[in-house]
Structure 1
Amino acid sequence: MSSITALGLVLMLLMIAVGGRQGWSAFLSLLLNFGFLFFAIILIAFHVPPMMVTLMTGVIILAITIFMSEDDLRTTVTAFWASVVVLLVLVVLIYLVEHWAMAQGFGLEDSDDLEGMSTAIGISYLKVIITTAALSTLGAIAEAAMAIAAGLTEILGEHPDLSDNRLMQSGMEIGKQIIGTTLNTLFFGFFGGLLALFIWFAGLNYSFGTIVNDKIFVSEIIAVLISFIAVIVTVPASTMIMIWQKHRGIDKDEVVK
């Protein structure tokens, strides 16, 4: 048994022990998301337009993540549509930022690993990095949307006649409570993932200007900043869609079967 298999089994057992049926559903959603990500890589390798793959895969992963993690219809529908709206906005933003930054492709630090290999794969690296940046934000978007939607659902359950302005204020208050933790999670994930690269930079006596202009560093910091923006935008988006759902009169007790 490999270490990855062992850790996967430990994760599954802990998720079931702590979360019960919901934990098992979350573990299944993790496996399904991995499968769809792998399928997206295959599609891009076969020259399917990366932007189309990004949108299709992003929507599918958001649906799996959200609808398999909660049974309340009002919460899941609100979180899903908010996540889709944020994803569409981010794809446009990512395209503009990545086109301007020109950080696609491989950096000088990858030259040893790529020695003897051809990088002429017939696919635009700009489109590939847009796909990478967009898909890397999905977890943060879904988490923030679910937190806001679940909190507002509880509030509407206690105060069904709450005005739109008060509901908007409540959503922003919930957002203030989760933004700090989420942003720190994203930051330390970024820093931990690139710690070896930072040590390498220090060992090679890279100047600050060289580091901030390094292609690997720039592409990663762009992805993190995009994730920050995604979390912040998700807060008002989820709140406004919850208000819209309230006016549509969705029964808060209806359960997805």
Structure 2
Amino acid sequence: MTTITALGLVLMILMILVGGKQGWTAFWSLLLNFGFLYFAMVLIAFHVPPMFVMATTGVIILAVTIFMGEDDLRTTVTAFYASLIVLAILILFIIGIEHWAMVQGFGTEDSDELEGMSILIGISYLKVAETVMVLSTLGAIAEAAMAISSGLTEVLDNHPRITNARLMGSGMAIGRQIIGTTFNTLFFGVFGGFLALFLWFAGLHYSLGTIMNNKIFVAEMLEILVSFIGVLITVPMTAWVMTRRRNHLVDKQSPSNYDKND
């Protein structure tokens, strides 16, 4: 048994013990998302337009992550709609950022591994970089959308006659509570993954200007910044989507369920 297989089994067991049926479903959603990402790589390798792969795979991954992570349709539908809107905004934003930054392809640090190999594979590295950046933001977007949507669903359950302004304010309050932890999660995830590169920079006495202009470093920093921007947009967007759907949700409830004290 390999180390990866052993850790995968430990992860599955712990998810089932802690989350029960929902943990088992979440584990399957993880496997499905891995399969879709692998299929996306195969499609791009066979010269399917990366932009098409990026859009379709992004929507599928968001759907799997959100709808297999929660049973309440009010929560999942709101989170999914908000995630789709944020995804569309980020795609337009990322296309502009990548064309401006020009950090696609390989850096000078990869020259030894690529020596003797051809990089003329007939695929636009710019399009690949855009695809990678979009896919890297999906987890943070889905997590933020689900957190806001779940909180607002609880608010509606307890105060079905709450005004749209107060509902929007509740969503922003919930968002302020998760922004800090989400940013730290994204930052330390990237920092931990590239610690060896940072040590290399320090060991070779790279200047600050050289580090800030290094292609690999800039590409990773752009990913974390775009992911955090996506989270910031997701917070008000999810609250707005919930307020837009609020009247429909309240109309389906009987007047006897209203909170008279609200």
TM-score, normalised to structure 2, is 0.95
Q: Report if the CA contact (8 A) 1:74-1:245 is conserved.
A: no
How much has 1:246 moved relative to structure 2? 1.1
> Is 1:131–2:135 an aligned residue pair?
no
What is the identity, as a one-letter code, of the residue corresponding to 2:134?
A
> Is 1:219–2:219 an aligned residue pair?
yes
| Residues paired across the two proteins, number | 252
Q: Which residue of 2 aligns with 1:18?
A: 18
Q: Report if the CA contact (8 A) 1:144-1:231 is conserved.
A: yes
- List aligned pairs for 1:87-106, cutoff 5 A: 87-106=87-106
How much has 1:28 moved relative to structure 2? 0.1
- For 1:200 and 1:115, locate their aligned partners in 2 and report how far apart those are by CA, in whole Å: 20
Q: Which residue of 1 aligns with 2:119?
A: 119
What is the identity, as a one-letter code, of the residue corresponding to 1:237?
M
- List aligned pairs for 1:154-165, cutoff 5 A: 154-165=154-165
Q: What do you get for the CA RMSD once the two structures are aligned?
A: 0.9
What is the identity, as a one-letter code, of the residue corresponding to 1:163?
T
Deviation per CA, 1:210-245: give whole Å up to 9, x if none: 000000001000000000100100000000000111
Q: Which residue of 1 aligns with 2:256?
A: none
Provide the identity percentage: 67
In structure 2, stretches of 5+ residues that fail to align are 254-262
Q: Which runs of 4+ in 1 moved over 6 A?
A: none
TM-score, normalised to structure 1, is 0.97
What is the identity, as a one-letter code, of the residue corresponding to 2:50?
P
What is the identity, as a one-letter code, of the residue corresponding to 2:103?
A
For residue 230 of structure 2, give the secondary structure of its aligned residue in structure 1. Answer: helix
How much has 1:138 moved relative to structure 2? 0.4
Q: Quick check: which has more Rg, 1 or 2?
A: 2
Q: Which residue of 1 aligns with 2:204?
A: 204
- For 2:95 and 2:32, locate their aligned partners in 1 and report how far apart those are by CA, in whole Å: 27
For residue 43 of structure 2, give the secondary structure of its aligned residue in structure 1. Answer: helix
How much has 1:175 moved relative to structure 2? 0.2
RCO higher in 1 or 2 (8 Å CA, sep ≥ 6)?
A: 1
In structure 1, stretches of 5+ residues that fail to align are 253-257
For residue 118 of structure 2, give the secondary structure of its aligned residue in structure 1. Answer: coil
- For 2:21 and 2:116, locate their aligned partners in 1 and report how far apart those are by CA, in whole Å: 49
How much has 1:31 moved relative to structure 2? 0.2
